[in-house]
Structure 1
């Protein structure tokens, strides 16, 4: 089995939604004559890099990230490549891509929309049609992941895709790095940090080949 890291590097250069908190790090303690260790302080948005949205992010009464069930973040996962679907990935395109890898009832679906993830903020990233999420829910899907900053377009005020996830009680991974991942079936391992009361949390997202 091979482990594939699908977590982008987090640094001050990590692209963020305009207005959101940029990552920064400060060395608080340094190894020296009077100190035996290095210790740093970091400042970042809960939606930096690869992260899991909690229901609280899109539902004022939703659970925070420390209260969500971890089971959806670990288990068999279908990765599909849909790099020509802008501005929205449709239900039919996902269904066709799943059929091509012989998956009919996916519990977890990760959608690759970029050939290479951009190093700068991309206002026109590909989003996911809410109807596609409704359909995935009927197939038994528990988690959807994307290599973009959001399931919804950057300018969305209605959050249709997130609300489709809310209705189906699914889970979301965003900001994944899928540049070198071929379509197929893998094991996903991507539990979020246990951050009390928060709307999202970073993940170290991994795929493991099934054979």
Structure 2
């Protein structure tokens, strides 16, 4: 049986990448050239751990929270469902209840915001406390959104982050879903093993989840 190809849903890391206002922009330079070393080029990057497509560790918003290397990597690998919530202004219980989440543990949410890595949106749908509670009650263990945060950019309380943590739901942000149909996929979005990190860039990829018929 021919397997489906993996689809990259990550934002490319380059100097055009939009970053959270006031945060460290991404920068890559070839620190040492092959002409200098006699053998190899060696690059260096400077970046926030929340540049591009990334995960949040609880320490990002909770001083007592787990760091990246404390996280269960199995959360970031496995079956995921993509839903199109672009007609909703808020990611709350009402929104999530419109979709079949039966048996789903990883949920990727397409919003009304266009996926443009070079532009930081000033407004976007956020996850409400009741939405996080609904996800937790329905067995969701990871939510991925196609915007920079699960909370509104003006929020200081970060109620969505905290409610998701209370419901044991991991956070994946800035996935690129505009060109991907709704449905079920395999997901890989592994964080780097940054021991004390509050987050990590990831290379998020998906492929259509093919149901293997009995006897194949």
Residue pair 1:186, 1:210 contacting (<8 A) in 2 also: yes
- The number of equivalent residue pairs is 206
- Show CA shifts across 1:85-108 (max 9, x none): 22x222222221x32xxx413101
Q: Separation in 2 of the partners of 1:77 and 1:120?
A: 27
Residues 144-165 of structure 1 show CA distances to partners (whole Å, capped at 9, x for unaligned) of 1001110000000111110111
Please show how residues 138-177 of structure 1 align to structure 2 within 5 Å.
138-177=137-176
| Deviation of the 1:126 alpha carbon | 1.7
SS at match of 2:97: helix
- Check whether the contact 1:59–1:166 (CA below 8 A) recurs between aligned residues: no
Q: 1:61 aligns with which of 36, 61, 64?
A: 64
SS of aligned partner of 1:89: coil
Unmatched runs of 5 consecutive residues or more in structure 1: none
Q: List runs of 5+ in structure 2 lacking aligned partners.
A: 211-216
Kindly indicate whether residue 72 of structure 2 is the aligned counterpart of residue 82 of structure 1: no
Equivalent positions of 1:193-208 (< 5 A) are 193-208=192-207
Deviation at 1:115, TM superposition (A): 5.8
The CA RMSD measured in Å over matched residues stands at 1.4
Shift in Å at residue 83 of structure 1? Answer: 1.3
1:34: Cα distance to partner?
4.9
1:36 aligned partner? 39
Q: How far does the alpha carbon of each residue in 1:17-56 deviate from its partner, in whole angstroms, 9 at most, with x for none?
A: 1100001112111122752111111000000001010011
Is the CA contact (8 Å cut-off) linking 1:6 and 1:177 kept in structure 2? yes
Tell me how far 1:76 sits from its aligned partner. 0.8
Separation in structure 1 between the aligned mates of residue 187 and residue 35 of structure 2, nearest angstrom: 41
Distance 2:36 2:131 in 1: 59
4+ residue runs over 4 A deviation: none
Name the residue aligned to 2:209: 210
Picking from 9, 19, 28, the partner of 2:22 is 19
Distance 1:199 1:93 in 2: 29
